[in-house]
Chain A
């Protein structure tokens, strides 16, 4: 389109400024903060070099957080991406009637529309030891109940289970859309050649949607390392520090312990992990487009 030279930049300017000012600058500032001892109550800052990093990596909760974020990541990959994709294949297959497909898909998607806090609070009731849903069910079947969120061995698994309940349907919807975009004649040709539904899924549908599958996997992994609200609204990292995760640790260091430098280091750690994964995601999406 022929216009005056500056015109395209006028369209891009407001959005670009917002992103630079409220996303890029704070993230860069955070890297700077990680080398200082900082408090939110005083303006001064003391340069401490890598001391915040040393404290972060030697903190007792560091291995706990790595384990918890890692567990969340692996289980989410298996359940949300793995099982979610299988459900998408089933929905797009011939076994489910055309009308029911959309209904099932929307029902599975529904939990992801409820706020993380609301889901967190709902599940604290569901896991509640005396009157909660799960223990009431167990009692009705004459089985012993458990302290679920109050048990340091179980708490993180309860939170992970809650997230699988909430987000598996999200991936199912994304993958179902991706499978719909695979040209129908591919599958028809394969069917004429005698390929069964499983064979068609493995050798046609999944390879055709592999880009979306990878994107879903990376999004899930990134989400696992940003985990915060789910833990905050259920256990607040307890009992003890047993369900502590990086995101919540950052918040607590900054706003409960007033140790902004330590929070900044946690931020840098999350930053490195998510940026590496995001670059990978962009490579995948772009390689498919060109």
Chain B
């Protein structure tokens, strides 16, 4: 009986710890949401109180004041980058794993080595290169580096997954007269859905939120993405705290919603590989 009691107490304590951690995560967010629904005067009077009137129009204001433009730019940049990352990486990982070609070992090391090279080290030369190529301050100034910098890690994840696909599937397809491209599109890609989902979330998280390249390579306000937009937004609004807070929440919601819709697929795709970055 004594061990039963002991077991029960530790169970309760551990559950409490988990709930406490949820509180630590939610408290600041809740405070931000609460104040995004007030007037600035209310916020200054007491930031811990509930709003007298729930001002959802702060959100409309933030959206109309320019957030919609940054939002559109981010959707454009992210979708092009993400598609290209997934296509280039899956083709590269396919070429690396499903053939016996000479030099594959070296190519793999070169690609994987890219994971060790950080964005900051390339920043200054990329800035000069993009200017020389006359694509500085265009959407491509961030899209091209995003694609290139995300390929190594995505190939790393996809390769591990492709290796685990049994060769018998392809042998049967060859008997049916499929060529290698048909095998790729009709067999490999469909059974690799979980890893595509994981890679999509991880990469989307990167490109949607990327700040360093966007800050340096996008000067024109009309084409800036959300993270840069948020910085300028705050500068423009100065002391209009509540509208800025509403803007921060609008900018953060899409990925959170997407993750909660895809979290099952996401976790399934994360096999033994390391996913962060």
A interface, CB within 8 angstroms of B = 1-3, 5, 7-12, 14-16, 18-27, 29-30, 33, 40, 87, 90-91, 93, 95-96, 100, 102, 104, 106-118, 121-123, 125-126, 130-133, 136-137, 140, 165, 169-170, 173-174, 177-178, 181, 211-212, 215-216, 219, 222-223, 226, 228-229, 232-233, 247, 250-251, 254-255, 260, 263-264, 266-268, 270-271, 274-275, 278-279, 281-282, 285, 288-289
Q: Which 9 A-B residue pairs are closest in the complex by CB-CB distance?
A: A11-B95, A278-B116, A22-B148, A115-B209, A15-B92, A26-B122, A29-B125, A12-B95, A26-B125
Q: How far apart are the CA atoms of A232 and B174 in the complex, in Å?
A: 55
B interface, CB within 8 angstroms of A = 10-11, 14-15, 17-18, 21-22, 24-29, 31-32, 35, 43-44, 46-48, 88-89, 91-92, 94-96, 98-101, 104, 107, 110-112, 114-129, 144-145, 147-149, 151-152, 155, 160, 170, 174, 179-180, 183-184, 205, 208-209, 211-212, 215-216, 226-228, 230-231, 234, 241, 244-245, 248, 251-252, 255-256, 259-260, 263, 267, 270-277
Which one of B46, B119, B205 lies within 8 Å of A136 (CB-CB)? Answer: B46
Are A33 and B124 touching (Cβ within 8 A)? yes
Known: A16-B111, A95-B10, A216-B274. A133 touches B211 (CB 8 A): no
Are B127 and A16 touching (Cβ within 8 A)? no
Which one of B22, B115, B149, B231 lies within 8 Å of A22 (CB-CB)? Answer: B149
Chain A interface mostly helix, strand, loop or mixed? helix
Q: How far apart are the CA atoms of A1 and B169 in the complex, in Å?
A: 12
Closest to B167 in A: A1
Known: A110-B256, A254-B123. A19 touches B14 (CB 8 A): no
Contacts of B119 in A (CB 8 A): 226
Are B18 and A18 touching (Cβ within 8 A)? no
Closest to B171 in A: A1
Closest to B276 in A: A219
Which one of A8, A170, A270 lies within 8 Å of B276 (CB-CB)? Answer: A170
Contacts of A93 in B (CB 8 A): 14
Contacts of B104 in A (CB 8 A): 8
Are A8 and B255 touching (Cβ within 8 A)? no
Known: A90-B17, A212-B274, A270-B120. A251 touches B180 (CB 8 A): no
Q: How far apart are the CA atoms of A186 and B245 in the complex, in Å?
A: 49
Are B120 and A27 touching (Cβ within 8 A)? no
Are B274 and A174 touching (Cβ within 8 A)? yes
Are A251 and B123 touching (Cβ within 8 A)? yes
Are A117 and B272 touching (Cβ within 8 A)? no
Closest to B147 in A: A18
Are B88 and A15 touching (Cβ within 8 A)? yes
B153 smallest CB distance to A (angstroms)? 11
Contacts of B120 in A (CB 8 A): 226, 228, 247, 250-251, 266-267, 270
Q: How far apart are the CA atoms of A251 and B128 in the complex, in Å?
A: 14
Q: How far apart are the CA atoms of A109 and B201 in the complex, in Å?
A: 13
Contacts of A136 in B (CB 8 A): 46-48
Q: How far apart are the CA atoms of A9 and B106 in the complex, in Å?
A: 13
Contacts of A181 in B (CB 8 A): 271-272
Q: How far apart are the CA atoms of A17 and B225 in the complex, in Å?
A: 26
Are B211 and A165 touching (Cβ within 8 A)? no
Q: How far apart are the CA atoms of A117 and B226 in the complex, in Å?
A: 9
Which one of B32, B110, B228 lies within 8 Å of A125 (CB-CB)? Answer: B32
Contacts of B11 in A (CB 8 A): 95
Contacts of B29 in A (CB 8 A): 122
A94 smallest CB distance to B (angstroms)? 8
Contacts of A263 in B (CB 8 A): 123-124
Are A108 and B25 touching (Cβ within 8 A)? yes
Are A19 and B180 touching (Cβ within 8 A)? no
Which one of B94, B121, B267 lies within 8 Å of A268 (CB-CB)? Answer: B121
Contacts of A173 in B (CB 8 A): 267
Q: How far apart are the CA atoms of A247 and B152 in the complex, in Å?
A: 22
B128 smallest CB distance to A (angstroms)? 7
